[in-house]
């Protein structure tokens, strides 16, 4: 399959791409296909597939002891990527995270991806699980995204965890996350850029940003990356605001600011449908400005729902 960086290099116009969630446990793969199919007319060269860790609760047993029980699980990202590639003939980009895996398990997952011909990965540290509050790396696992990038990069050089000889060199194109409004755990913006540069120096070949609703923050981020010597492609991540509740949910979960003009328009809206339309129009204007400024790819966080993103794509592409 084709590397993300090769898709970008070969493009003669701004590309359209999407990120989807694996279906919930028990849902049929066709529910995911139905969310993707309406967007295929815009010819996404690649589709990102997120990975979500299991969540746990502790149930009290009759003997008074606590039993750790998994409460949340989505089907495997690797299998879903393979299904998407087979169904739609596009590149699928699995998200790989540090949390929940030791390095052996990570290596095994990468071997499986390589075997399936999946040559693109997005390397992330991942979030803390709710029961822990703060991110805790698995025993024997990578603690930072830069360490995960280094492990993948080593496999690209034929260097595995153990010193077998004549190991196959993988050919992964490695993407990482960037934060135009700073990662919430970084003590300063300068520190955050140092971490981002460390990921690029470890082998990352492109950056996908956290969602943002103010394009100036993206342009400032790109400029600062250049000043820090970060020269890989930077793909903006976009999401239409679709409900009133998202005024508080999005800043809380993703640690982003919403522009006052957007907030005021949503607050003044008379109906849920009006709010949704405001969010779509805002994202259309964002997209058009980014496209006019020569941004190479516009990447949309669909949450596996196609209707809003389809309306945006119809207006922009």
Q: What is the rounded CA–CA span in Å between residue 221 and residue 216?
A: 8
State the SS3 of the chain: CCCHHHHHHHCCCCEEEEEECCCCCCCCHHHHHHHHHHHHHHCCCEEEECCCCCEEEEEECCCCCEEEEEEECCCCHHHHHHHHHHHHCCEEEEEEECCCCCHHHHHHHHHHHHHCCCCEEEEECCCCCCCCCCCCCCCCCCCCHHHHHHHHHHHHCCCCCCCCCCCCCCCCEEEEEECCCCCCCCCCHHHHHHHHHHHHHHCCCEEEEEECCCHHHHHHHHHHHHHCCCCCCEEEEECCCCCCCHHHHHHHHHCCCCCHHHHHHHHHCCCHHHHHHHHHHHHHHHHHHHHHCCCCEEEEECCCCCHHHHHHHHHHC
What was the pLDDT predicted at 132? 62
228 a catalytic residue: no
Q: What is the rounded CA–CA span in Å between residue 122 and residue 177?
A: 8
What was the pLDDT predicted at 71? 46
133-147 pLDDT, tens per residue? 666 767 888 999 999
Catalytic one of 19, 107, 147, 181:
19
Q: What is the rounded CA–CA span in Å between residue 106 and residue 10?
A: 31
203-253 pLDDT, tens per residue? 999 999 999 999 999 999 999 999 999 999 999 999 999 999 999 999 999
In the predicted model, is pLDDT for residue 60 greater than 50? yes
In the predicted model, is pLDDT for residue 317 greater than 60? yes
> Could you give all domains of the chain from N- to C-terminal order, each with its CATH number?
4-316 (3.20.20.220)
What was the pLDDT predicted at 165? 63
| More reliable by pLDDT, 288 or 54 | 288
- Mean residue pLDDT of the chain comes to 90
Partner residues linked to 316 by β-bridges: none
What was the pLDDT predicted at 164? 67
What was the pLDDT predicted at 70? 47
Task: Give the pTM.
Answer: 0.90
What was the pLDDT predicted at 187? 93
In percent, the amount of the chain with pLDDT more than 70 equals 88
| Across 42-46, 51-55, 261-265, 267-271, least confident range | 51-55
């Amino acid at each position: 399959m084709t590397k993300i960086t090769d898709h970008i290099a070969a493009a003669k116009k701004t590309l359209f791409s999407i990120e989807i969630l694996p279906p919930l446990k028990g849902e049929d793969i066709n529910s995911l296909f139905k969310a993707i199919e309406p967007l295929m007319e815009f010819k996404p060269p690649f589709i990102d597939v997120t990975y979500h860790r299991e969540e746990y609760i502790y149930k009290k047993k009759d003997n008074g002891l606590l039993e750790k029980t998994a409460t949340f699980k989505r089907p495997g990202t690797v299998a879903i990527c393979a299904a998407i590639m087979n169904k739609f003939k596009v590149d699928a980009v699995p998200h790989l995270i540090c949390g929940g895996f030791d390095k052996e398990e990570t290596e095994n997952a990468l071997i499986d991806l390589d075997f399936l011909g999946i040559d693109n990965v997005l390397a992330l540290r991942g979030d803390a699980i709710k029961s822990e509050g703060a991110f805790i790396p698995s025993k024997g696992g990578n603690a930072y995204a830069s360490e995960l990038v280094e492990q993948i990069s080593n496999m690209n050089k034929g260097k595995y965890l153990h010193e077998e000889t004549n190991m196959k060199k993988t050919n992964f194109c490695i993407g990482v996350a960037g934060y135009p409004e700073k990662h919430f755990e970084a003590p300063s913006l300068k520190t955050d850029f140092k971490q981002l540069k460390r990921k690029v120096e470890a082998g990352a070949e492109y950056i996908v940003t956290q969602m943002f609703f103010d394009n100036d923050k993206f342009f400032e981020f790109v400029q600062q990356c250049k000043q820090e010597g970060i020269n890989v492609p930077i793909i903006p991540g976009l999401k239409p605001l679709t409900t009133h509740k998202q005024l508080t949910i999005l800043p809380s979960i993703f640690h982003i600011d919403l522009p006052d003009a957007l907030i005021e328009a949503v607050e003044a809206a008379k109906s849920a449908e009006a709010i949704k339309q405001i969010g779509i129009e805002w994202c259309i204007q964002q997209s058009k400005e980014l496209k006019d400024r020569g941004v190479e790819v516009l990447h949309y966080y669909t949450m596996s729902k196609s209707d809003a993103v389809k309306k945006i794509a119809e207006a922009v592409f």
